[in-house]
Amino acid sequence: MTLPLIKYKRPSLLDGYRSIIEEKLELHCSAKAIYKFIQKRGFQGKYTIVREYCASIRKERTHKATIRVEHTPGLSAQVDWKEEMTLYDRNGQPHRFNIFLYVLPFSKLKYVTLVFERSQDTLFQCLNDAFEATGGVPSEIWFDNMKQVVDHTKSSFGKAIFNERFRQFSHDAGYNPIACRVFRPQTKGVVEALARTMERLRPYNYEFEDGVELIGLVNDLCEDLNYEVSQATNQVPMDKWQNEEKEYLHEQPANLLNPFFEEDITRIVSKESMVNFRKCKYSVDPRYIGRTVDIELTDNEQRIQIYYNGEMIRSHNITTNQFNYDKQDRVRILGSDLLKGQSEQDIQAYIAEHLSEYDQV
């Protein structure tokens, strides 16, 4: 009678160290650093064994995280910017802008919008608009280490610390913010793919009339993407969202932005004598260029008031226009640069003649 062969698992030099290695990987330690650490605790193996084991653990965790994020309805969203794009209109004028990107990985439903700057206020406004456009708030949102989200002065390698104002916004909105880990790039791959898709705007270079039409092109692209069949799911994102995900999203909090835009907001006046607020720019007197000013909302939230050293220096109606000039500021801006040395009467005449062009000055 032949006895069956019994296979014995060969002992590994990693035995007794695996739990330590996995613990240090959670802290984002490199394989080399872990090897040096366990070597001082008696490990007799070579670095290659540790490196290969670390790689296998990272691959497994990445796969699990990706499955969780992309295959659970209502669980997550991913956020990023398409930064510093430039397109030219039919008159050859450059339009420099950014695009806010938001996507639900399960359904692949997207929200994208054109913005002219990437302040924290703009991020909050865009997130609020995204919640409204996609029917609610997911349980978690994944971000990279963008400055509007992470306090870089308190963060260390591998451990991002969210800044307090952003953390409070996330709490009030009802989602858990997550900073993408170094060894889990796939968990934000959906929004990175969306960023690449924004290159579909390039054929419109020199084909649009003005900024208003450009904003419309971005909005149209967003709608097109939501009604095109996704290669990842072989379904239309809008249909998959409507039938399988929408019900799992949390209700958007009413008046979410109020406490954040009622706080003191500071800005540095740009060299164009403008301050950024949400997606738009508002003028002040050129003598405040380079100085830090405070912005406050009026009680009815229809106007912003700009203060310097406690004194109000300008008030503007809140609009959706990219540039917003006070008449006096416009004269002084032109008089300090393009029409320097000209009389106020000549400057006024110039403005009357070139009224539609002064935004480019």
Question: Is 142 within 8 Å of 78 (Cβ atoms)?
Answer: yes
Of 58, 69, 95, 109, whose CA–CA distance to 236 is shortest?
109
Q: Taking every pair of C-alpha atoms in the chain, what is the biggest distance, in angstroms?
A: 115
Q: Tell me the whole-structure pTM to 2 decimals.
A: 0.62
**pLDDT, one tens digit for every residue, the chain (361 residues):** 555 555 555 678 888 888 888 888 877 788 888 899 988 888 888 899 899 988 888 877 777 776 777 788 999 999 999 988 999 999 999 998 999 999 999 999 999 999 888 888 889 989 999 999 999 999 999 998 788 888 766 655 556 788 888 888 999 999 999 887 544 445 567 888 899 999 999 999 999 988 888 988 999 999 999 999 998 889 999 999 999 999 999 999 988 887 776 556 788 888 788 888 866 889 888 888 888 888 887 776 678 899 998 899 999 888 767 888 887 877 777 755 544 555 556 545 655 555 544 444 4
Looking only at the bridges linking them, the beta strands covering 274-277 and 280-283 are antiparallel
What are 50's two structure tokens? 């540790």
DSSP 169-187: HHHHHT-EEEEPPTT-GGG
Question: Is 174 within 8 Å of 253 (Cβ atoms)?
Answer: yes
Of 326, 340, 341, whose CA–CA distance to 288 is shortest?
326
Distance CA 23, CA 33 (A): 13
Distance CA 340, CA 332 (A): 9
State which H helix or E strand residue 18 sits in: helix 18-26
pLDDT of residue 2: 58
Q: How many CB atoms lie within 10 A of CB 164?
A: 10
Question: Environment class of residue 259 by beta-carbon count within 10 Å: exposed (0-12), middle (13-18) or buried (19+)?
Answer: exposed
Q: Distance from CA of residue 234 to its chain's centroid?
A: 27
Question: Is 189 within 8 Å of 67 (Cβ atoms)?
Answer: no
Give Cα separations from 192 to 19, 79, 185, 188, 231 (angstroms): 33, 9, 10, 7, 15
What are 342's two structure tokens? 């000209």
pLDDT of residue 338: 47
Per-residue b or e along 86-121, where b marks 16 or more CB atoms closer than 10 Å to that residue's CB: ebebeeeeebebbbbbbbbbbbbbbbbbbbbebbbb
Question: Is 149 within 8 Å of 177 (Cβ atoms)?
Answer: yes
Q: Which domains are delineated in the chain?
A: 76-248 (3.30.420.10), 264-360 (no CATH)
Distance CA 348, CA 132 (A): 43
pLDDT of residue 80: 92
